Structure 1
Amino acid sequence: MAKMDETLTMLKDLTDAKGIPGNEKEAREVMEKYVTPYADEVTTDNLGSLIAKKEGNASGPKIMVAGHLDEIGFMVTRIDEKGFVYFQTVGGWWSQVMLAQRVTIMGSNGDVTGVIGSKPPHILSADARKKPMDIKDMFIDIGASSKEEAEEFGVKPGNSVVPYFEFTPLKNDKMLLAKAWDNRIGIAIAIEVLKQLKGADHPNVVYGVGTIQEEVGLRGAKTSANQIQPDIGFGVDVGIAGDTPGVSDKDADSELGKGPQIVLYDASMISHKGLRDLVVDTADASGIPYQFASMAGGGTDSGSIHVTANGVPSLSITVASRYIHTHAAIIHRDDFENAVKLIVETIKKLDADTVKELILA
């Protein structure tokens, strides 16, 4: 395994943390630990999004850099008489990536290990074997022999269920395999942006934000942006990588390691032209690699931020990721570091006059 430097340790702590929509506490505490040394003030909104504030020029524009704390997971809905646990998906899952996967139930007496099960193929009809298993026909086996024993384990309706996977750098140690890159990498970017601005001049006030409940409707971005009232918004998230077998350039053309993605369009937002042009010009002038991306479906926190109050010029800057919305995804460390660099260099340019000009660009 790669030698764990400070950055890899932070990325491990962030991705190993458990936090599905509605229960982001563990991930929030990890973010708070890492961001507090670089912030002038750390607060939350009333739903639990973390807001770390750093003043450059106190009378300058307010810049919001938002990643989301939550990862997709499940919630316990009922336990049957034999001790099998049924669940609700929380966030978008594809049934084919779920079966036989290990999960952790955050029980009232501590963590409970389980595995997602269903009928074995041997007893299915020939037609049924050809079809993906419906999520409603899946359950979690925790090794309990009865409902009472499951309850003794501390499992009850409402418990969070989180995918289990350990952070692992691959043989090429810039390729990082982990659960919850969507979107702990965005949280890492927000932390690292504040860290790199620690001793730097910047003509504005920067807010590094860990939003809650993005995966179920960009909800925490609404409340945190309402509290901050930013002048400029950056949503930082993962994007789709197109560099694996079977994916054509028509579907996705980004490659791992070729730079952060500047999102032109997604289902939640058309990127702000003035801000997009400034970011592209900054990347070109600084020699920072980047890729353009667009997605017909899906969205990011920018979708909520840009329609806050009377409008916030916003842009999503994302890190290409393989296998998102599964138990384990892969990103490239260079893309993370270049995303941070690009946002930091852009923030240094965002004084009051520049912000005013780009609004109507």
Structure 2
Amino acid sequence: MPSKSTDAKDLLKKLSETVGVSGSENEIREVIKKEIEKYADSIETDSMGNLIATKKGTKQGPKIMLSAHMDEIGFVVRYIDRDYINFTPMGGIDDKILLSMPVVVHSAGKKLYGSIMAKPPHLQEREEREKPVKMKEMFIDVGMKLNKTPDKDGKMELEKLGVKKGDIISFDSHFRELQGSFVSGKSFDNRAGCVTVIEAFKQLKDFAGTVYAVFTAQEEVGLKGARVSAFRTAPDVALIVDTTIAGDLPNIMPQECSVETEKGPAITLLDAQGRGLITPQKVREWLTETAKKEKIQHQIELGTDGGTTDATAVTLTREGIPTGLISIPTRGIHSPSEVLSIKDLEGAIELAVVAVKSAGQYFKGK
């Protein structure tokens, strides 16, 4: 039989190489559904595009939302300029990583491969070369000739191929095994969280309560799916799984980011200086005491001053839902070459399983 690490790694590869830019999660949702449906008592897709799988425990207990967002950052076609594509981001993407990046334009059921380009430095004035190129100055080249005039029907050549405004554009990158336990690929944020929820859901058998495995849409563009799904399922407690910044890199001081790879998943106490999640004391006790009791290697994280996760949206749903966050240390977040350790992924799966099983000791069903 394959090892647990092989299972997790293979599933991460499959999910990472599947497309699911925010607002266009159909393909990734179907892949996840096939992975999880035979382990669920029921499964549904809501009007927002969230996938919700339900499993009832062997005895009475709390309703538990175990969730990860399934969407990824990317782009959409904004405008076709003489058979070159002007684009806009979906989610937070740093302009500095974009030049020469290979991408895939998804149009009319076809894939058009291209690269992000800009005016060559050889043709730039000195003042231009000294400034970083902004995204609005870039375009996508899919191998067309510069076409200044449309045909008699008013269409450019790209439009004849089916390209239109609003078509999604994804990173063209592939899953790679690196040294030791490390792997790289696109959209580990948050396909790693999806792997954690899927594998934990599969393993859950003897537990109290009801588990909702939720794979949310549109997290990268405003935590939208989490708000809807948390309202719908109305859990007594929620546990979100996402990635977090790993600080074991050159030029990063421990006081800036103390989370490291291969030291286990992080239990996040707060993020965005408290403007996002502030983990309730009871949830902190639940996760930290359970991790210690089960001897699961883990870290404690106070997140960066920047972004937040679905946990913030869930916390603020209905009259307030006690919410925790398990974070998987990841390098290069929001890039086409994110890096994580399979050991940390396995630790997140293990922590999610024991947390769900122990939830009834800390939270009561309504």
Q: Normalization by structure 1: what TM-score?
A: 0.94
Mapping of residues 116-195 of structure 1, within 5 Å:
116-145=116-145, 146=147, 148-172=156-180, 174-195=181-202
% identical equivalent positions: 37
1:196 maps to a residue whose letter is Q
Correspondence for 1:211 among 210, 213, 216: 216
> What CA distance in whole angstroms lies between the structure 1 residues aligned with 2:290 and 2:17?
34
- Secondary structure of the structure 2 residue equivalent to 1:93: coil
Q: Is the 8 A contact 1:112 1:153 kept in 2?
A: no
Unaligned runs of 5+ in 1: none
Between the aligned partners of 1:5 and 1:341, the Cα distance in structure 2 is 15
Residues 166 and 178 of structure 1 are in contact (CA less than 8 Å); yes or no, is this contact kept in structure 2? yes
Q: 1:301 aligns with which of 307, 310, 314?
A: 310
Corresponding residue to 1:238 among 243, 247, 271: 243
Would the alpha carbon gap of residues 76 and 289 (structure 1) be closer, same or farther in structure 2, given more than 3 Å must change? Answer: same
User: In the alignment, is the contact (CA less than 8 A) between 2:90 and 2:221 conserved in 1?
Assistant: yes
Mapped partners of 2:30, 2:345: distance in 1: 21
Whether 2:328 is the aligned partner of 1:319: answer yes
Deviation per residue, 1:201-228 (Å, 9 max, x gap): 1111111111000001100001111110
Q: Structure 2 matches for 1:273-288, cutoff 5 A?
A: 273-288=281-296
For residues 230 and 206 of structure 1, the distance between their equivalents in structure 2, rounded to whole angstroms, comes to 9
In the TM superposition, what is the alpha-carbon distance from 1:57 to its structure 2 partner? Answer: 4.3
1:84 aligns with 2:92: no
Q: CA deviation at 1:153?
A: 2.2
Report the CA distance between 1:164 and its aligned residue: 1.0
Q: Does the 8 A contact of 2:108 with 2:162 survive in 1? A: yes
Contact 1:71 1:215 in 2 (8 A): yes
Partner Cα separation in structure 2 for residue 5 and residue 175 of structure 1: 13
**Structure 2 counterpart of 1:290:** 298
- Determine the C-alpha separation between the residues in 2 that align with 1:6 and 1:349: 25
What's the counterpart of residue 31 of structure 2? Answer: 30
Once the two structures are TM-superposed, the CA of residue 356 in structure 1 deviates from its matched residue by: 4.3
Determine if the alignment matches structure 1 residue 254 to structure 2 residue 263: no
AA in 2 matched with 1:181: F
Who is 1:350 aligned against? 359
Is 1:61–1:205's contact at 8 Å kept on the other side of the alignment? yes
Q: Give the equivalent residue in structure 1 for 2:10.
A: 9
**Structure-2 separation of matches of 1:117 and 1:95:** 12
Amino acid at match of 1:66: S
**Per-residue deviation, 1:59:** 4.2
Q: 1:169, CA displacement in angstroms?
A: 1.2
Give the whole-Å Cα distance in 2 for the aligned partners of 1:41 and 1:176: 33
Counterparts of 1:11 and 1:356 in 2: how far apart (Å)? 34
Q: Is the 8 A contact 2:9 2:342 kept in 1?
A: no
* Partners of 1:6 and 1:251 in 2: CA distance: 34
Distance 1:109 1:148 in 2: 19
Q: Structure 1 runs of 4+ off > 4 angstroms?
A: none
